[in-house]
Chains A and B, each alone.
Chain A
Amino acid sequence: MNKFLKVAGIFASLALISACASTGPDVDTTDSADTMVDTGPSGPVPGTQADLEQSAGHRVFFAFDQYTLTPEAQSTLAKQAAWLKEYPETRILVAGNCDERGTREYNLALGARRAEAAKSYLVSLGVDAARITTVSYGKERPIDPRSTEAAWSLNRNATTTITSTGA
């Protein structure tokens, strides 16, 4: 039931996107319709990384030099926890990342804090701690290479990756 609702939600947002797209000139609306048909019913394979990313979101973001979880981060992690309960054999790695506005060594420590903050929240929501490993990449693995506020915001994150589906 829960899953059905999510799928329906995705359909709804796709419909919105196509609606927006169709307002522009020279847009062939049949393309949007095709996209809906293609991705809709197939979607990501349940229990996979793609499914986690689509159903819950695999990244939570932090403020500068902070490791406290924002309400948005808590909401994403709650969805991750729910998803992990649906796939109880799944093991994950939570990686803490930082922007480049700090020293390498401090950022390694800060990344560890962010990974641990995300892990602790998942555990507090009932996910077995043994299923979660953590790692800090400091400022060494930016998603966005640009030297801009937008890039730094993206690069300050804790990223959840499935390491084993238990299958």
Chain B
Amino acid sequence: MNARRSVAAALSAAALLATAACGGGSSDEQRPANAASPQSFPTEDVTLTMWWWGEQEAPGAKQWLADTVKAYEAKHSNITIKTVLQTTDGLIPSFEAAAAAEQGPDIEYFWGGIYSQQPYWSDSIVPVSDYIPADELSHYTNAALEDTYDGRTLTAPWYVNPQFPVLARTDVLDEHGLQVPTTWDELLNVCDVLSAGGVTTLAGGVKDGWFGGWLYSMLGAQSVASKDDVTAAVRGDQSFADPNHAEWWTRLEETREHGCWNDDINSLELYQAQQRWVDGDAAMTITAGTDAPNFVEKVGADKVTVTTMPTWGDGAYAGKMGTTSQTVGITSWSKYPQVAADFIMFMHTPDRLQAWYDQTGSLPADDRFDMSKVDDPVKKQLFAYAADGAPYLENFIPSALDGKAVFAGVQLVLQGSKSGEEAAADMQAEAERLRRTDRSLVDNFEGWTD
């Protein structure tokens, strides 16, 4: 986006060409079009560091990664890969600190969309498409939707997260003569009946903020025509106070008015609140798509219906689940980006894709994964939702807007100290302020949309 990047890109290309000319060898079949040519694969000892996240939402990922690293190191005796699991709150700040010092991981985990765009805009990563061939990347799910800028794929999708399934306990609803709600009116009716009976309809926790972003994506997607509406509002071409962007805040306010949530939603973290649902103290909750099968298993599949957020809007995405891929990228300071890319491609080999599914129960972000091997009905349903999913809105707004307007606004609306209308106005005001403070924001978002 700036001269610095162009110079850096030119220097990188020159260095890689020089390296390629100097020789070397590798045994891999998959080779990128440019930099990671067989000649550029190092023969000296190489140590890569990978900072990652995901065990939190896809239990089993840690073991899968350890196995994958082991298999890769067995194949390349001169390569060592160290993996460091990050915390949820620390994932972004740790990387930002590393980026400021230009040292740290060679491979970094990024959530999709804005989380893979921003590091590129700040020169912290190099596009994976510089090292991974286009025909290989074309198999990676959601890469084009979320992780592409100006024709370059920035990060490589790893696994798909259906964002976010609503899990309904039919046993709790049955006790009160209720059905799983599919429309907004039905949901509010369930809330009225259950709250009168002292039962929580929806278990949630917003103390840690993240759940606010989930709710924005699930409710807000129902009234926008496409993700471009959202990026247009970020650029200032639309307003977050316009009805198609603001209406969801009012729906959120209605959930509070109808007593849908647990009364301590503001003092609980999301993961603490989800346990209420497991314990049978709440009829419904919302989980990460990757983790949903585990929750269903804890309660018993016969007592659970996996569904989407009840519909209130008539937009194209009403009744759909969002879809996003969690990704990995290559840092701009990595001395061996070609090795990092090679490892990423190794993560997508058929054996590893199958192992990912077997060990985590979640969907690898690769259309070469053999879906016929999925026999669990819950997973099958989730994967079907993800295949026909809506864009996950939170991934298309700046993280500063997410944190300052969405996270904070949801907390206040659910606590009752702010109305939906006021929260929408706050979000618009914050977007306007961000356009002033982040002086590259509009240009970057224009490049992303184009």
Chain A complexes with chain B? no
> A residues engaging B (CB < 8 A)?
none
